[in-house]
Amino acid sequence: MRVLLIVAIIASSYGVMAQTQLSLENLDDFKSQAGNWQIVGDVSMNRNVDVHHKPAPEESKKKKKKKKEVEETPKAVDFTSGTGILLNINDDQKKDHIITNFEHGDIELELDVMLPKGSNSGIYLQGRYELQLFDSWGSKNPKYSDIGGIYRNWEKEPGKILVGIPPASNASKAPGLWQNLKLHFQAPVFDRSGNKIKNARFVYVELNGVRIHTNVDVALPTGGPIANNEVAMGPIMIQGDHGPVAIRNFKYKALKDLNAKISGLSYKTYLGEYKGIEEFEGQPAVASGSAKLIDVSATGEEDNYAIVYTGVLNIPESAEYLLSVGYTGGARLVVDNKTVVENLSSGAQGMLNEKVNLSSGTHPFTIYNYKSAGWRGPRLGFFIKGDDTNPVSFHHFNSFPDTPSGVSPILVDVAAQPKLHRGFVTFEKTGEKLSHTIGVGSPDGVHYIYDLNAANVIGVWRGDFIDATPMWHNRGNATFVPRGAVQWTFLNQPLVQLASPNSPFPDKADFSDFKPKGYAIDESTGAPVFKHEYKGVEVENRVQPDPTGTYLIHEITLSQSSPAGWYYKLAEGYIRKMSDGSFAINDQQYYVNVLSGQQAQIRTVNGVQELVVAVSGSSIKYEIIW
Amino acid sequence: MVRIMNRLKNIYIPLLAMLVMVQSVVAQKTGSESDYYKLTKIAAPEGVQLEGGGVLVLQDGSVAMSTRRGDVWIVENPRMEGGTKPNFRLFASGLHEPLGLSYKNGSLYTTQRGELTKLTDTNGDRIADEYETIYAWPLSTHYHEYSFGPVIAPDNSFFVSMNVAFGSEEWWRGESRVPWRGWMVNITEEGKMTPWATGMRSPAGYGLIDDELFYTDNQGDWIGSGGLWHVPKGAFIAHPAGLKWTGHPDSPVKITEEDFYSNIDKRQVRENGRYVKPSNIENEADPDFVYEMKEKFPEIQLPAVILPHGILGISNSQLLVDKSKGKFGPFDGQVFIGDQGQSKIMRVVLEKVKGEYQGVAFDFRSGFQSGVMRMDWDQYGNLFVGETNRGWGSAGTTNSGLEYVTWTGKMPFEMKTVSAKPDGFEITFTKPVDIASANDLNSYVGKNYVYKYHAVYGSPQTNIEEANIKGVKVSEDGMTVRIVMDNLRQYYVHEFTLGGILDSETGGNLLHPTMYYTLNNIPEGSKLPLNELSTKRSGTTKKTVGKSAPAKMNHNADNPNAGGAAASKKSVISDAEAGRMLTKNTCVACHQKDKRVVGPSFQAIAKRKYSDEKIVELIYNPQPKNWPEYATPMAPMPQVPRDQALKIAAWINSLN
């Protein structure tokens, strides 16, 4: 038999292969509808205009005045012609849902969605199980009817009632911003006679990077389905009758089961404090035998063992496959006599992953595993997954159990007063771990991270405050994790003197002229006032929630007015000036709005746009809205 | 016990060299530590984790405590006199693992991981509203980069100490990724930082003695055993990580890494593409010792007092001088040093010989509820102790807490101090000794040893030699004993167990019968003439005869009950002998007979019903996974001789 094996070199390019992205160049991927849905090139929404404040109320009094108000009100949704975005603007006549031509069972789906203020929509998996879309900005206790909620149905009959499931937290963003939704849905499963044997399930749903559902079964269709029956395959339906919604980057991957098998599995075990494969390979085995599945307990030992499994992998069709070996100690996977992936530690713990092109037919494989690390339990698992398949495992449950450690999380919440907590923080945009950072939580549930080494707000989020488990459990790693959808900003020292208006901001503060001085607690608010000295000027930073407790206002005050050549950087990334005078940052991820009167300029340095103000007066005040 | 001791015939038998008390054997007359020093717990409100990072008694008698959780609590009414309740106030919070507290001019100062911080209450509500950064330093964000302090220097500046990080692949190798990890630095109120000294590995304990800076370190790579070091400016202690920054113009230490490693093996070996963790070389022909390196690098500061690892702690912490003027008992002016892992406090007495500090260490008080981290005195001579085990496990079974120690007023029978003499040591007692017991050389067993200086984690006791005691001289008042020996060895730890010395008043034994003297220098002066010494040995007749056939007397001689056990089952060693073996092999660093400490109790192990062979196997090749509720995995103990391991295993199984 001819065997073909190509080890993937550029892993990143493979993610796209079995994933389908709707082109959104036209409406050909959808069934026809009344015309409320269209393809557009760009969408911009005015975050201040509520779509439900329409002229409609037919009350006679003040009718004239109302009309005038409406005329003066800017439009909630603006768009340009072009392609790439699916936009719904419904009215009383045209208010159809839109339905995809494709049908799906198990599916991974990812898309960006934008809603104007007050709007309401929903995504129905298989046309039957609705994940709610809603302008839930600022909602403190999200319900099933808020964005990310799994909607209820309206049945009254006992046994047919479906209760809605709210998202675990409100991870939503302000109106007019793009929000990322990512999910894995499993279709219900039926036996041969058509009886349902497994419920539909949201394996996970993530909104703006925050997991809001995990392994939620949905026993019945939610309210307003395309049909009331449950089926193996159905289209995606997006609600179009309750207000505008824009969708882009609509990507999905239909998942199927993989009929891969292993055969001829046998093993050899070795006992010893091995630090590498060469130390036991070729030595006489302590035990050997054949097996149906991989099971590390065949060594009979907790530690200081090695085990080698050989067998044949039977692949149903030629394709690229992700091969994974979960292990403790060290491990190597060999397929078709070539090493696919390895970690030659003796005390590691992890998952080796490699994408490999495998032809249909048989492929001999060998897995080496050895461990000399008493503090780790024996673990060995072997998985294969096609790009568009569910994974198949070839090990006993106990050889690689899929349950976590069972550590009680140490969660820090905010009570009546603002809560401060210093710790290392990973700046997720770059992966850099920052050392002199402090999380500040407000009782309103609007939080931020301040970098004391740069005097900069580097991340903001709403919801719960922080998870200190990584910091305080056992020895800890001194790092806390925000419990919400963090809008990360940028890492420079934002307030600096520049040699010229186009000079770049320094990557790191220069401590010969930048002196962090800590903070004082404002007695009236309980909030910190951060202090530092820069080139002899005393600077204070205050960050407070807006009066509604939804977003943040950052004020920087200087002991000297209008120092020459000083600039303040407000943001970086792709920057768009909005009709209300604020700026949408990084492709409508968040807004910055200057309150203190200075004119913010968009400049480009080293190919990156920056929003900068020249420092005039002794205060800069701006809103961070997300 | 004295009778038992008197029956020991052959003090040159190696087994007896390790004679160390096992608590259960201590005679009733002696009493227990709690008869003399009482511990009182201060219970925290539910949900409050007092993981003690700093402890400081304030002017009004309340106790400030900084915690790993980032809080500074002020505990008012901490003594709870008259059965009253303490009051917990949250003075500050949100700090990054503040591991120390000091007071100056109305403010508290603490060291966070990345800065020295001044905490001030400006509006009188006893809540800090200013968190002022005095000086911030870089961190690589490795978890092990703890920062400790501050110590307020006599000139009102601050000392802060900086733990090292560890390697990524070489996870065993301490490294200084950013300045000034592995250093102690001096910082002024105005925020001017001056590097002070380096060579620190894990400098969790610090303090002033005679207005001089001292610190404690833990056993690890390049640190053979924990101990107490004097830290004059420009000193290099032992760990080479901090040498990375000696090229900096502000560095007072001039040894370069290159210089250093050209004189000693870095033990950095790659085999088959991976680094090999260095391990102790058994029967090493010519091991390196730090005092030898001092000849090359005079900046090296030898430990003033070695705290033998596994015996006097496993993770030494705070040091504190007794300035209570007797309110805390007979140890005024002496130094107390805490230990996290063993949850106890040791006692140290320093003297200066030839211009350098050296001295003696003893056990003082064990039984704290968690690892002893920080200590401070109140003005009534109570010792407040802030505790944590910081995820490493400890003898104390809780993770954290606050306790205080009170002298009950009863005089313990202890060695008060030991000083070096040209021909041995002079021991001063807290109470007169029974002259006859003190004149009997069988009351004394001694040995001396040193620790290796190498990249390996810790060192075994090396070059062990029995103390060759020529004789003793007991003062007329029974308060002092001179021990004269002919094998004093400079730089070595001289350990003596005075198992047979009796309290003249009660007839009891010493509360802590063993002393550990670090002999960096042997003082000049006249030696005692031999004719002034007592050379009496009880049972001397047997000594002369016994030389030919001593072996059978070794084992069960000291426990009359052991014979029965041996007769009924297979031969199981006595508790006392087990105690010696367990001590010698440093098992007791982590295990006790009937109590969970760092590891499970021997009784708990017995319940697992392993075979003796299996236990031996587990000694050589532990399976920490078998004990998931213990945070600190046991290290393999291949150095335990197989015959001893088997005896220990049989003894463990006899506990079931």
Q: Which residues are registered as beta bridge partners of A613?
A: A568
Q: Tell me the chain A residues in contact with residue B276 when contact means C-beta distances shorter than 8 Å.
A: 275
pLDDT of residue A508: 85
What's the pLDDT tens digit per position in B32-48? Answer: 999 999 999 999 999 89
- Name residues whose C-beta falls within 8 Å of residue B3's C-beta, 6 or more positions apart in sequence: none
The model's confidence at residue B561, banded by pLDDT at 50, 70 and 90, is very low
Q: Give the CA distances from residue B483 to residues A396, B514, B518, in Å, rounded to whole numbers and listed in that order.
A: 67, 14, 15
Identify the pLDDT of residue B626: 76
Q: Which residues pair with B89 in a beta bridge?
A: B74
Alpha-carbon dihedral sign for residues B193, B198, B202, B208: negative
Q: What is the pLDDT at residue B540? A: 52
**In sequence order, what are the residues at sequence separation of 6 or more whose Cβ sits closer than 8 angstroms to the Cβ of residue B469?**
B424, B441, B444, B446, B483, B484, B485
DSSP three-state, residue B317: strand
pLDDT in tens, B128-147: 999 999 999 999 999 999 99
- Note the pTM of the prediction, 2 decimals: 0.85
User: Using an 8 Å Cβ cutoff, are B150 and B128 in contact?
Assistant: no
Q: What is the structure's pLDDT at A71?
A: 52
pLDDT of B499 strictly over 60: yes
Looking at the partner chain, which of A345, A421, A511 has a beta carbon nearest the beta carbon of B94?
A421
User: Which pLDDT score, from 0 to 100, does residue A54 have?
Assistant: 57
- Structure confidence at residue B582 (pLDDT): 86
Chain B closest-CA separation from residue A557 CA (Å) = 18
Q: Interhelix angle for B575-584 vs B642-654, to 10°?
A: 130
Residue B123 is nearest to which of A433, A515, A523, comparing CB atoms? Answer: A523
B contacts of A476 (beta carbons < 8 Å): 143, 391
**Residue B634 near chain A (CB below 8 Å):** yes
Return the percentage of chain B with pLDDT > 90, whole number. 73
Strands, E assignment, A416-523: 419-427, 432-441, 446-451, 456-462, 466-467, 481-482, 487-488, 495-497, 514-521
Higher pLDDT, B400 or A311: A311
DSSP, res B300: B
Q: Is residue B283 over pLDDT 60? A: yes
Q: Does B154 touch chain A (CB under 8 A)?
A: no
pLDDT of residue B169: 87
Closest by Cα among B325, B510, B525 to B419: B525
Name residues whose C-beta falls within 8 Å of residue B405's C-beta, 6 or more positions apart in sequence. B37, B38, B39, B328, B345, B365, B382, B383, B385
Q: Which residue of A has its CA nearest to B270?
A: A275
Lowest-pLDDT choice from A190-199, A561-570, B21-30 = B21-30
The C-alpha of B141 sits at a distance from chain A's nearest C-alpha, in angstroms, of 6
- Paired with B449 in beta bridges are B493
Residues 6+ apart with CB under 8 A from B393: B341, B597, B598, B599, B630, B631, B632
B409 touches chain A (CB under 8 A): no
Does the beta carbon of B250 lie under 8 angstroms from any beta carbon of chain A? no
Q: Mean pLDDT over residues A592-604, rounded?
A: 97
DSSP A550-568: SSEEEEEEESSSS-TTEEE
Question: Could you give the CA distance from residue A490 to residue B163 in angstroms, rounded to a whole number?
Answer: 30
- Distance, in Å, from the CA atom of B122 to the CA atom of B120, rounded to the nearest integer, reads 6
Contact between A213 and A184 under an 8 Å Cβ cutoff? The reply is: no
Contact residues, B window 463-502, toward A, CB-based 8 Å cutoff = none
Q: Which amino acid is at B577?
A: E
- For A56, the 3-state DSSP assignment is coil
Which of A354-363, A549-558, B157-166, B630-639 has the weakest average pLDDT? B630-639
By Cβ distance, the residue of B114, B271, B391 closest to A436 is B114
pLDDT of residue A72: 59
B123 and A278 within 8 Å at the Cβ level: the answer is no
Model confidence at A8: pLDDT above 50: no
Contact A375 B624 (CB under 8 A): yes
- Name every residue in A having a CB less than 8 A away from some CB of B: 273, 275-276, 278, 302-304, 344-345, 374-377, 419-424, 433-436, 438, 452-453, 472-479, 511, 515-521, 523, 528, 531
Residue found by looking up tokens 């000086």 in the block: B135
Q: What is the pLDDT of residue A74?
A: 78
3-class DSSP state for residue B267? coil
In order of A231, B135, B629, the CA distances from B190 in angstroms are 74, 8, 47
* Whole-number pLDDT of residue A407: 85
- Residue B240: asked if its preceding bond is cis (omega within 30°), the reply is no
**Nearest Cα to Cα of residue B376 among B396, B357, B403, B355:** B403
Kindly write down the DSSP assignment for every residue of B493-541, as one continuous string: EEEEE-TT-BBTTT-PBPSS-EEEEE-SSPPPSPPPPGGGSB---TTHH
- At residue A7, the pLDDT reads 33
Q: Which residue out of B67, B95, B96, B178 would a mutagenesis test of the A interface target, given it has the greatest number of A Cβ atoms within 10 Å? A: B96
Cβ–Cβ below 8 Å for A377 and B633: no
Q: Does residue B320 register a pLDDT over 80?
A: yes
Question: Cα(A316)–Cα(A321) distance, rounded to whole angstroms?
Answer: 11
Phi-psi category of residue A570: left, alpha or beta, with phi > 0 → left and psi -120 to 50 → alpha:
alpha
Surface-to-core class of residue A197, CB atoms within 10 Å of its CB (0-12 exposed, 13-18 middle, 19+ buried): exposed
Q: At residue B265, does pLDDT exceed 50?
A: yes
CB spacing of A435 vs B128 below 8 angstroms: no
pLDDT tens digits for A94-121?
999 999 999 999 999 999 999 999 999 9
What is the rounded distance in angstroms from the CA atom of residue A356 to the CA atom of residue A361?
14
Show Cβ contacts of residue A51 under 8 Å, excluding neighbours closer than 6 positions. Answer: A76, A77, A116, A117, A118, A119, A243, A244
* Nearest CB neighbour to B391, from listed A435, A476, A528: A476
pLDDT at res. B631 = 65
* Three-state SS at A502: coil
Give the ranges where A486-589 is alpha helix by DSSP (H).
Answer: none
CB A452 within 8 A of CB B136: yes
The distance of Cα A155 from the centroid of its chain, to the nearest Å, equals 34
- Find the range with the poorest average confidence among A114-118, B443-447, B543-547: B543-547
E strand or H helix at A470, and its extent? helix A469-472
Residues of chain B neighbouring A273 (CB-CB closer than 8 A)? 621
Q: How far is A558 from chain B (nearest CA, A)?
A: 18
DSSP string, B356-417: EEEEEEEEEE---SS-EEEEEE-TTS-EEEEEE-TTS--SSSSSEEEEEEEE-SPPP--EEE
Query: CA-based angle B114:B116:B117, to the nearest 5?
Result: 110
- Give the CA distances from residue A506 to residues A489, A498, A511, A569, A605, in Å, rounded to whole numbers and listed in that order: 16, 9, 12, 11, 12
CA distance A367 to chain B (A): 19
Residue B555: predicted pLDDT: 37
- On the question of pLDDT at B18 being above 50, the answer is no
- Residues A389-408, mean pLDDT to the nearest whole number: 88
Q: How many angstroms separate the CA of residue A405 from the nearest CA in chain B?
A: 11
The rounded radius of gyration (Å) of the Cα atoms in chain B is: 25
Q: Which residue has the tokens 């500090």?
A: B357
Distance in angstroms (rounded) separating the CA atoms of residues A472 and B388: 12
> Measuring CA to CA, which residue among A358, A361, A357 is closest to residue A314?
A361
At A437, list the tokens. 């950072």
Q: Does B168 touch chain A (CB under 8 A)?
A: no
Q: What is the pLDDT of residues A439-473, one digit of tens each?
A: 999 999 999 999 999 999 999 999 999 999 999 98
| Tens-digit pLDDT profile for residues A129-142 | 999 999 999 998 99
pLDDT at residue number B623: 78
Q: Is the dihedral of CA B377, B378, B383, B384 positive or negative?
A: negative
Do B133 and A452 make contact, defined as CB atoms within 8 angstroms? yes
3-class DSSP assignment, residue A490:
coil
Work out the minimum CA distance from A620 to partner chain B, whole angstroms.
23
Crossing angle of helices B612-620 and B642-654, rounded to 10°: 120
State the average pLDDT over residues B273-293. 91
Q: Establish if B273 touches chain A: CB-CB under 8 angstroms.
A: yes
A-chain CB neighbours of B131 within 8 Å are 518-521, 528
On average, the pLDDT of chain B sits at: 88
Of B451, B488, B450, residue with least CA distance to B468: B488
| Range B494-507 average pLDDT | 95
Which B residues, 429 through 458, put their C-beta within 8 Å of a C-beta on chain A?
Answer: none
Q: How far is B587 from chain A, CA to nearest CA, in Å?
A: 18
Percent of all residues in chain A with a pLDDT value above 90, rounded to a whole number? 86
- Rg of chain A over Cα atoms, rounded to whole angstroms, equals 28
Q: Which of A278, A521, A529 is the best residue to mutate to test the B interface, defined by the most B CB atoms within 10 Å of its own CB?
A: A521
User: Distance between CA B584 and CA B323 in Å, rounded?
Assistant: 35
> Is pLDDT of A187 > 90?
yes
Q: Chain B: nearest CA to A524, how far in angstroms? A: 11
What is the DSSP code (8-state) at residue B422?
T
Phi and psi, residue A368, nearest 5°? -100, 135
| Cβ contacts from A onto B, under 8 A | 113
Q: Hey, what are B250's tokens?
A: 């502000």
Report CA B488 to chain centroid distance, whole Å: 23
Cα–Cα nearest to A118, from A133, A94, A134, A132: A134
611-630 in chain B: CB under 8 A from chain A: 621-626
Per-residue pLDDT reduced to its tens digit, B446-478: 999 999 999 999 999 999 999 999 999 999 999
- Residue by residue, DSSP assigns A110-138 as EEEEE--BT-EEEEEETTTEEEEEE--TT
What is the pLDDT at residue B8? 36
Contact check, Cβ <8 Å, A473/B113:
no
Amino acid type, B132: E
Distances, alpha carbon B374 to alpha carbons A45, A274, B324, B337, B609, in Å: 59, 41, 17, 9, 40
Query: B129, A421: Cβ pair inside 8 Å?
Result: no
Q: Give the nearest chain A residue to B626 (CA atoms).
A: A302
**pLDDT band at A404, cuts 50/70/90?**
confident
Residue A475 pLDDT class (50, 70, 90 cuts): confident
| CB spacing of A478 vs B117 below 8 angstroms | no
Q: Do A375 and B633 touch (CB under 8 A)?
A: yes
- Give residue B28's pLDDT: 57
Q: Is the pLDDT of residue A342 over 70?
A: yes
Four-CA torsion A526, A529, A530, A536, nearest 10 degrees: -160
Cβ neighbour number for residue B188 with a 10 Å cutoff: 15
Dihedral pair phi/psi, residue A114, rounded to 5°:
-130, 135
Which chain B residues are within 8 Å of A413, Cβ to Cβ? none
pLDDT one-digit tens code per residue, B355-372: 999 999 999 999 999 999
Q: Which residues of A touch B96 (CB under 8 A)?
A: 422-423, 478
Residue with tokens 């903001």: A460
